[in-house]
Amino acid sequence: MSVSGSGVLAFEDGSIFRGTAFGATGTVSGEGVFNTSMTGYQEILTDPSYFGQIVTMTAPQIGNYGINPEDEESDGAKVLGFVVRDLSPATSNWRSREDLAGYLARQGIPGLSGVDTRTITKRLRVHGALKACLSTQGIGDDEAIEKARSWPGLVGVDYVKEVSCKESFQWDESGKDTVPFTVKGTRLQPPHLDRPLYRVVAFDLGAKYNIFRKLRHHGFEVEVVPANTPAEAVLERRPDGVFLSNGPGDPAAVDYVHRTVSRMIQQLPTFGICLGHQMITHALGARTFKLKFGHRGGNQPVKNLETGKVSITSQNHGFASTRAELENRGAVVTEINLNDETVEGLRHKELPVFSVQYHPEASPGPHDSDPLFDDFYQMVAKYAVQGS
């Protein structure tokens, strides 16, 4: 049963926001961030990249189309807490099976509504991502501020081990459960059903399900493996390529993945997104750094420096790669963010390796970058032919 009554959101700088509690009864401390997506709150809630974070939505009304089992991006909600301006009192969508408040209550996630999310967002933009506490248990302001300040932070912390799968598995081997969503009478493109299938090992660093669906749509058989799988175990499987997923936390803290990727990129075509992009960055010997308030939302402009094309992308990350170090270690920076000119894509000059900082699977978000999965297919096909 979802709670109702007073709730509090406190930040380490002493600021307090009180509103109406919903979802589960609880008190959580984590990193306070904001997301600018207009839709897709369910995908955001279930994105493992948000592990350890309290998310504020900038869109004013959230919850109006409910929750459905098809739009889950993992095995359940991964955010610590959820903050909205206006929790919709009604849900209206033919796919809806549950309302947002009930879903969060069932998932054990506290929520807060009726607060000034614009002020929260401006504070995070000015001061950067802040340590935060969200409580629906009736605690006082001073206690909430102290709980925010005492949270240790995520720099240097390995959150990947908390969200990665524990055992390897085949993703929808038959392909029957990975049919693209469509509505009768529309002209949505079908998957590439007539292609030869290539085998890829996908590292689950905190992956969203739609990434695996996209790989399947574009002609891959996908074996998902835990983040701590050693390079030798991957090479023994003799895959045609390797995929590195998104995930949470500080990319510098996951050194065991750096070592694995450093070995694999010497022998197999490799594609990484988000945290996977940062794993390639570290594998090449470059570093990552923490952004002031991160990129989170479905409206991030990215420019391809090789083609001049600008794409609107879906993003969710708080760290970025160091450009000069990448360029000194055999990488070409292919894309930049037009808001702050941080690195959004790279390819290696000699090795069959490329990656992007954003989410081409776009759940939620625009589909401008969907062709990247086809680029990966073409690269894998090329090297499979050369190796045969």
**Residues forming a β-bridge with 20:** 6, 113
Q: Is 165 among the catalytic positions?
A: no
Percent helix, percent strand, percent coil in the chain, to nearest 5: 25, 30, 45
- Spot the catalytic one: 43, 335, 344, 361: 361
Terminal Cα distance for the chain, rounded: 59
Sign of the C-alpha dihedral, residues 205, 24, 39, 67? positive
Distance, CA of 254 to CA of 257 (rounded, Å): 6
Nearest of 9, 86, 73 to residue 45 by alpha carbon: 73
Which residue in the block uniquely carries the two structure tokens 């290539």? 198
Residues 6 or more apart in contact with residue 189 via CB below 8 angstroms: 180
Does residue 147 sit in helix, strand or coil?
helix
Sign of the C-alpha dihedral, residues 312, 315, 320, 325? negative
- C-beta of residue 221 within 8 angstroms of C-beta of residue 256: no
Which residue in the block uniquely carries the two structure tokens 């869109």? 59
- C-beta of residue 73 within 8 angstroms of C-beta of residue 209: yes
Nearest of 129, 350, 358, 351 to residue 241 by alpha carbon: 351
Distance, CA of 30 to CA of 149 (rounded, Å): 10
- Burial class of 39 by CB neighbour count within 10 A (0 to 12, 13 to 18, 19+): middle
**Residues forming a β-bridge with 35:** 57
- Spot the catalytic one: 223, 274, 295, 344: 274
In sequence order, what E strands does 152-240 have? 169-171, 198-204, 220-226
Which phi and psi (to 5°) does residue 142 adopt? Answer: -65, -40
Q: Is 359 among the catalytic positions?
A: yes
How many other C-beta atoms are found inside a 10 Å radius of the C-beta of residue 122?
Answer: 12
Q: Is 361 among the catalytic positions?
A: yes
Which positions are catalytic? Answer: 274, 359, 361
